[in-house]
Structure 1
């Protein structure tokens, strides 16, 4: 199924990574549960999806507050990444998005704008054989204000040399869609795994 796009002549495509290019959200959730469980934390699935697009540091910090814990942020983040890396063989590209990547590659530039770390984004894209398709990667380390702030998407457009109004964003989360709209960009909403 080809993902429908809004009308317009776009000069660049900007993609979120997890849940948009790669069908990695279930693996990420399993990694989160295992890592947090080692410190007595939890991350209910509905909250995990609602917080899609947030940085790992923000998630751990807020879970500590909500659950009255003092989980060490850097250690939990590193453990979650280690566990996720072990699951890379289980992820695949998101149908519909992959077709747009294949159809438009080489015709217009692509960038990834993700709340995940560069290590995680690079590993995910490598696992599905798509890393070489993207001229720019904008990851959690590259900006200070996470989605729904438009900073990441504006940086992606700037790195590609394209006016934000000429960019189309592919996103699977409410926070990501809000970031795209705040950047003045049109978007295509990627359905969640259970909606496909």
Structure 2
């Protein structure tokens, strides 16, 4: 994978976690499979990739609406998170993104902006040996409105004390790209699946 950077000088780098820093989408997909077994439900692959970056409780609600299900949101979200945490040891990083993180560490502020709970993001980053590289983490609980709303990325810019237009976002999922665009930020798109 070759990353394509936009022109310009940036004051901060903001990274999505799952699918961007962490090659964790297969693990998340398996966690959904395990969690949904109890309710004899499944998460179609096309929807899984289309809805990447959306917080888990909202995803459960969307599954209910889209597939005509009646899944208990809190119970499914908890089961999915537990399944993910049980599988976390198998996650690897996207080497090209990790290289950017290591190269820019100490040169400009960096944040992780994720639709996952902050505790889950921390465990993922610690698993990858990248926790100490980030100045802040914005998790699902830090923004009332998740991606594709711009609030998560705007929150990170505010916490880093930088102008949104001076941030470069690294994202894999369309809701995250929409969030970055709406925040007035340039972005680097990380391919979700091998081409």
TM-score normalised according to structure 1 size: 0.95
Gaps of 5+ in 1: none
Separation in 1, partners of 2:65, 2:49: 19
Q: Is 1:126 aligned to residue 120 of structure 2?
A: no
Gaps of 5+ in 2: none
Partner of 2:39: 39
8 Å CA contact 1:166–1:185 kept in 2: the answer is yes
Q: Report the 3-state secondary structure (helix = DSSP H, G, I; strand = E; otherwise coil) of the residue aligned with 1:87.
A: helix
8 Å CA contact 1:2–1:96 kept in 2: the answer is yes
- Following TM superposition, by how much is the alpha carbon of 1:50 offset from its aligned partner in structure 2, in angstroms? 0.3
Q: Report the 3-state secondary structure (helix = DSSP H, G, I; strand = E; otherwise coil) of the residue aligned with 1:157.
A: helix
- Following TM superposition, by how much is the alpha carbon of 1:37 offset from its aligned partner in structure 2, in angstroms? 1.6
Q: Deviations over 1:8-38 (max 9, x none)?
A: 1111000010000000011000000110121
Q: Report the 3-state secondary structure (helix = DSSP H, G, I; strand = E; otherwise coil) of the residue aligned with 2:194.
A: helix
Separation in 2, partners of 1:174, 1:62: 16
Q: Report the 3-state secondary structure (helix = DSSP H, G, I; strand = E; otherwise coil) of the residue aligned with 1:168.
A: strand
Partner of 1:30: 30
Q: How does 1:48-59 map to 2 (within 5 A)?
A: 48-59=48-59
Partner of 1:114: 114
Separation in 1, partners of 2:193, 2:123: 20
8 Å CA contact 2:12–2:108 kept in 1: the answer is yes
- Following TM superposition, by how much is the alpha carbon of 1:72 offset from its aligned partner in structure 2, in angstroms? 1.7
Q: Deviations over 1:72-124 (max 9, x none)?
A: 21111111111111111211111211110011000001011111111211111
Partner of 2:188: 188
Q: Report the 3-state secondary structure (helix = DSSP H, G, I; strand = E; otherwise coil) of the residue aligned with 2:21.
A: coil
Partner of 2:83: 83
8 Å CA contact 1:2–1:99 kept in 2: the answer is no
- Following TM superposition, by how much is the alpha carbon of 1:2 offset from its aligned partner in structure 2, in angstroms? 5.0
- How many residues in Structure 1 have an aligned counterpart in Structure 2? 195
Q: How does 1:92-103 map to 2 (within 5 A)?
A: 92-103=92-103
Separation in 1, partners of 2:85, 2:189: 26
Partner of 1:141: 141
- Following TM superposition, by how much is the alpha carbon of 1:66 offset from its aligned partner in structure 2, in angstroms? 2.7
Q: Is 1:104 aligned to residue 104 of structure 2?
A: yes
Separation in 1, partners of 2:68, 2:44: 16
- Following TM superposition, by how much is the alpha carbon of 1:193 offset from its aligned partner in structure 2, in angstroms? 3.0
